[in-house]
């Protein structure tokens, strides 16, 4: 089709104008917070270590994720401009799903960094050197591109003989697949394969890392040492929960949540691309002393 029509939040068309204001504020906070993080890490040589390099990649990913969706979403809510060209829709879909995979991979790499820092502190700088960090980030980025590119290619080959109205605020993969003609089982199966491969692999690695961390921390002799070790992980745990909770909800709703009202599903999907980019710089900025010292 030459274009699709995004309708925003189905069932809340009259309220969308006002819903856009908190969305816009959250987007502004995400932009300000993540750009500030990137500038601080770039300007301060003492922050050029694995934890902060991963954090810089996380900030960049959050900027791409939120900017891929929010400007168009606000134009739908405020101006009623829901029309989006087919190539633009596929491009938006590519960036959303690729960088969602990248963010998941970066969070996994950060869990690995915490594991090495707590379990092998004397070898941390040799195990996670700058070249190793660059290689991990590159691997995560390549994984996202390789897994998501077939998603867009498969959709590009399909015909869309039904209406071209997408009941969503952005070009989400499954929302577009539902408009395609014929048997879409290949698209659906591959989409779930990618989602569960990425999330499943990363969640297992994160859980294993934190299980090992917990075992090491519980063996520490003093209560103060245990609290300090837990404190270094709390920021990362908060960010993980903020990212994976709505992501898993949105993925499972497509498969099993026929009884959930569409407005609830769409709102959670929107917040999934807004809340983590807004919270990540706040959580790390407040809880990481090195960053907080540079800000104040």
Q: Is 278 helix (H, G, I), strand (E, B) or coil?
A: helix
pLDDT tens, position by position, 198-248 = 888 998 999 888 888 888 877 777 777 777 777 777 777 888 888 888 777
Calculate the CA 278 to chain-centre distance.
11
pLDDT tens, position by position, 19-58 = 889 999 999 999 998 998 888 888 887 777 888 888 899 9
Domains, the chain: 3-293 (1.20.1070.10)
Mean per-residue pLDDT over the chain, rounded: 84
- Long-range pairs of 251-255 with CB within 8 A, sequence gap ≥ 24: 251/192, 251/195, 251/199, 254/174, 255/192
Q: What contacts 138, CB < 8 A, 6 or more positions away?
A: none
Query: How many Cα atoms within 13 Å fall on the side-chain side of residue 251?
Result: 20
- Predicted confidence (pLDDT) at residue 18 exceeds the cutoff of 70: yes
pLDDT of res. 254: 60
Predicted TM-score of the model (pTM):
0.88
pLDDT tens, position by position, 249-289 = 766 666 665 667 777 778 888 888 888 888 888 887 766 66
């Amino acid at each position: 089709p030459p274009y699709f029509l995004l309708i925003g939040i189905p069932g809340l068309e009259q309220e969308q104008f006002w819903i856009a204001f908190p969305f816009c504020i959250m987007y502004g906070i995400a932009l300000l917070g993540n750009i500030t993080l990137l500038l601080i890490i770039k300007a301060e040589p003492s922050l050029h270590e694995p934890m902060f390099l991963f954090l810089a990649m996380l900030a960049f990913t959050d900027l791409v994720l939120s900017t891929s969706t929010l400007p168009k979403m606000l134009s739908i809510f405020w101006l009623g401009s829901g029309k989006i060209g087919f190539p633009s829709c596929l491009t938006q879909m590519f960036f959303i799903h690729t960088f969602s995979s990248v963010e998941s991979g970066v969070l996994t790499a950060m869990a690995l960094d915490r594991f090495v820092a707590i379990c092998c502190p004397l070898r941390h700088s040799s195990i996670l050197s700058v070249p190793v960090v660059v290689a991990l980030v590159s691997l995560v980025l390549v994984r996202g591109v390789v897994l998501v590119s077939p998603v867009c290619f498969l959709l590009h080959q399909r015909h869309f003989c039904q209406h071209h109205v997408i009941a969503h605020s952005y070009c989400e993969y499954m929302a577009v697949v539902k408009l395609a003609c014929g048997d879409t089982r290949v698209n659906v199966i591959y989409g779930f394969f990618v989602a569960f491969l990425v999330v499943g692999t990363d969640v297992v690695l994160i859980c294993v890392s934190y299980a090992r961390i917990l075992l090491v921390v519980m063996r520490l002799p003093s209560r103060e040492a245990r609290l300090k070790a837990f404190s270094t992980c709390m920021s990362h745990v908060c960010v993980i929960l903020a990212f994976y909770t709505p992501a898993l909800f949105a993925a499972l709703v497509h498969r099993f949540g026929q009884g959930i009202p569409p407005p609830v599903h769409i709102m959670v999907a929107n917040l999934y691309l807004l809340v983590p980019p807004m919270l990540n710089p706040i959580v790390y900025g407040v809880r990481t002393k090195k960053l907080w010292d540079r800000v104040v």
